[in-house]
Chain A
């Protein structure tokens, strides 16, 4: 069965740089610097990335950062909590727009 997403495609990510090597190289330098240990640990950054991967619904990123989280010492409990943080922000962001809905409704209503 053919699908849009193939797990093995993740390994071909660098192919994106083939026709734009300078842009790719700048992206990779920045990307590498972002995930290096700084004020946040590598593990904390991997957990953030995992949470964001779920909100942008990127299966490649979910695979990559599930592995990265394990390799950086996180466990399933921490990874699940990170996912809940992402889910809470997604849910909360929908709900908080309800204020806009209410404001608009009140404006139109008698």
Chain B
């Protein structure tokens, strides 16, 4: 099983608090993100619709990846209550939101995960499971691949590299070999195989303080190498920029890369990446029912005034999005979102 290490919270690290993280980011001299997007014609940056309800079931995870913006890990107790989960399902039933994106932590560790999948699918919604792969190798969760396939859940699986060194460096020793076995099992069930309709997408985050490469070019290479080395097939590769939040922020500070990384993000600001920003079409729900523009704002405690237990959709659909210096992570280069690049 993968090696894990204590989370920031467990280590009583100052960056465990969202306030501290925001203070660190505020201390770095950056241009205003709001001004940058205004220059691209978005004054202010507003949501255009809600196409994705992203539900964060909690911070429990069986891994402690070094770049994790959630500070998730085995020692985190936060999980969504039944009441909030029920409110999410009621909200979905009442609204025409096509996609449910389930995340965490490892969302599958939540006792209500199966019910959420079954009921969201019964409502006819596309369901995405953000899966860390190794969770399916734990004895109590071996049922997951078959369960996900039965309900035609789209699997978006994390894998930083197609080689062992970088993967284990970022995600913990032993993660790569377990992930490969998990991917092979998903393939056996038809995931990623043309004609089955079972979608298996991979997500890669850079293993360090640099931007992700060209998504199209990397996808071509990953498909060739994963097939050649391990016989694995998949649908799409998403490249995602590491956000200067939580454990990645800790890495940036300790490695003295924070200032240069922020400079890199700002220097690579791409006005064309703004139109497709995920916050413009996503509503993010925290484990405690608070609402956010995205999972990153969630981790920085930048909550919207509304709560899942008293939600009024009308006010949310064209809301002004809350932004900060971290948002430069989503507009750098080809752009970044939970669905990969935002341009092209």
Contact-residue bracket for chain B = 10 to 19
Within 8 Å by CB of A73, from B165, B208, B218, lies: B218
Instruction: Give min CB distance, B268 to chain A, whole Å.
Output: 10
Segment at the interface with B among A37-45, A48-56, A84-92: A37-45
Once the chains bind, are B210 and A75 in contact (CB under 8 Å)? no
Partner of B213, one of A73, A76, A77: A73
Contact among B166, B207, B210, B220 with A67 in the assembled complex (CB-CB below 8 Å): B210
Contact with A along B315-341 (1 / 0, CB 8 A): 000000000000000000000000000
Flag if B206 contacts A71 (CB, 8 Å).
Answer: yes
Task: Tell me the complex Cα distance, A76–B165, Å.
Answer: 9
How far, in angstroms, from A43 to B220 measured CA to CA in the complex?
A: 12
**Contacts A70-B206, A70-B208, A75-B166; A42 near B161 (Cβ below 8 A):** no
Residues of A within 8 A of B214 (CB): 37, 42, 72
The answer, among A42, A67, A75, A76, for a CB contact under 8 Å with B217, is: A42
**Chain A residue with Cβ nearest B204:** A73
Q: Judge whether B221 and A71 touch: CB under 8 Å.
A: no
Is the beta-carbon distance between B217 and A71 smaller than 8 angstroms? Answer: no
Residues of A within 8 A of B58 (CB): none
Task: Say what secondary structure dominates the interface of chain B.
Answer: loop
A37–B214 Cα gap in the complex (Å)?
10
Closest residue of chain A to B263 (Cβ to Cβ) is A11
Which residues of A have CB within 8 Å of B221?
A: 41, 43, 73
- Number of residue pairs spanning A and B whose beta carbons lie under 8 angstroms apart: 36
B105 contact set on A, CB distance < 8 A: none
Least Cβ distance of B48 to chain A in Å? 30
Nearest-neighbour CB distance to chain B for A3, whole angstroms, equals 19
Number of interface residues of A (CB under 8 A): 12
Complex interface: chain A residues within 8 A of B211 (CB): 71
Do A77 and B165 form a contact, CB below 8 Å, given A41-B217, A43-B217, A72-B217? Answer: yes
A58-95 interface with B by 8 A CB criterion? 67, 70-73, 75-77
- Chain B residues lying within 8 Å of A67, measured Cβ to Cβ, are 210
| Interface membership of B212, Cβ < 8 A | yes
Across-interface contacts of A70 in B (CB, < 8 A)? 206-208, 210
B163 lies within 8 A of chain A by Cβ: yes
Complex: how many Å from CA A37 to CA B206? 20
Over the window 203-241 of chain B, the binary record of Cβ atoms lying under 8 Å from chain A Cβ atoms (1 yes, 0 no) is: 000111011111001101100000000000000000000
Chain B minimum-CB-distance residue to A37: B217
List 21 contacting pairs A-B, 8 Å CB cutoff, sorted by A: A37-B214, A37-B217, A41-B217, A41-B221, A42-B213, A42-B214, A43-B213, A67-B210, A70-B207, A70-B208, A70-B210, A71-B206, A71-B211, A71-B212, A72-B214, A72-B217, A73-B213, A73-B217, A75-B165, A75-B166, A76-B165
Q: A37-B217, A71-B210, A73-B218 are in contact. List 14 more A-B contacts (CB 8 A).
A: A37-B214, A41-B220, A41-B221, A43-B217, A70-B208, A71-B206, A71-B211, A72-B213, A72-B214, A73-B217, A75-B163, A75-B166, A77-B163, A77-B165
Interface residues of B (CB under 8 A from A): 161, 163, 165-166, 206-208, 210-214, 217-218, 220-221
